Amino acid sequence: MAADASPGTPSASPLRIGFLGPEGTFTEEALLSEADYASGEIVPLGSLTEVLESVQEGQVDLAFVPLENAIEGTVRDIIDNLVFEFDLRIQREVVLDIHLHLMALPGTDLGAIERVASIPVATAQCRHFLAGRLPSAETLATNSTADAARLLGERDPALTSRPTAAIAPRLAAKLYGLDILAEDIEDHPDNQTRFVSLARSGIPAPTGHDRTSIACFQSTDHPGSLYAILGQFAARNINLSKLESRPTKQALGDYCFIIDFEGHIADAVVSDCLRDLHAELAGVKFLGSYPVAGPAGPAIRREVDSANRKAAEWVDGLRAEVGPGGISSRPPTSP
């Protein structure tokens, strides 16, 4: 079965990848941006919990989920499930620019729109456009941006009884046969979402530009406890890219810390840091070491590879001098 194959190794069967449906979401858009994922079998599922359960139970090879948004912050349902409910490993991160578009049935004029349908978060992120171009339009809440486009494209009476538009990703317009009336209507054009793929096991090989995610649980809450955790990273010059606290759900005021930092578990300095944290804390949950996303990644990894090759050549050159033929190994001459 494909689910028994490691996501990091070639398989005779295409990858099965679960994501939160319906089709046409930003999650699917991000998933399809990865060539090896796009060639797999894409499985839309009904809830984020179902997506995680599907990979935990081996029904799919990977789960692909949103983890963090530049405006809304961490997707709490996902991070809490990863820390407290599921034992999964992050395999990859994908960062997607989030652009929202106003779309409607073919032939609809922008000026005729009386209602705008979308998930409330998306509607709120387009407040300036709606106030300026459609000030009298009523907003309708749907389960997701893609769901708004789907209902409109399927001519659901709840949406089509009056001239209605949807706010959704470009992919949704293509899938559901809608025309885009206005592009990039979001208030924050630099908005991005970070997605991750998850597997039951396995850690991708280090690339030289990697990120590691962990959760740290304190033995007791006392002055300086967080400082002691952070000190382990500072002492080793390891850069943190994210730090947040989450309630452990065991007692009021009892928190754990979610930490993202630069480096890979295969790096000696990172493994040494995690070893000390594990020895000192009540618990450390390893969430994954994986390549950092972003356009600068390939260039940084090339620089690291070049530096590593030069360093290896230097060490090899020194080691080649070791042996009985060295001047220092000659016996001292008699006076």
CB 160, CB 219: distance < 8 Å: no
CB 240, CB 207: distance < 8 Å: no
CB 229, CB 219: distance < 8 Å: no
CB 116, CB 181: distance < 8 Å: no
pLDDT at 4: 41
pLDDT at 129: 95
3-state secondary structure (DSSP) of residue 50? helix
For residue 320, which phi and psi values (nearest 5 degrees)?
-65, -20
pLDDT at 323: 74
pLDDT at 309: 73
Tokens 């005729």, located at residue:
112
pLDDT at 6: 47
- Whole-angstrom distance, CA of residue 214 vs CA of residue 198: 14
Tokens 């940084």, located at residue:
300
pLDDT at 224: 72
pLDDT at 304: 61
- Whole-angstrom distance, CA of residue 186 vs CA of residue 176: 21
Q: What is the mean pLDDT of each run of 10 residues along the chain (335 residues)?
A: 44 84 92 94 92 96 94 90 96 95 95 93 93 94 92 91 94 95 94 95 94 90 80 94 90 88 95 94 95 71 67 77 65 58
pLDDT at 2: 40
pLDDT at 52: 96
Structure tokens that stand for 72 in this block? 């809304």
pLDDT at 254: 82
Task: List domains and CATH numbers for the chain.
Answer: 11-98+190-200 (3.40.190.10), 101-182 (3.40.190.10), 203-317 (3.30.70.260)
DSSP label of 2: G
DSSP label of 60: S
pLDDT at 215: 96
The angle formed by the CA atoms of residues 21, 22 and 27, to the nearest 5 degrees, is 55
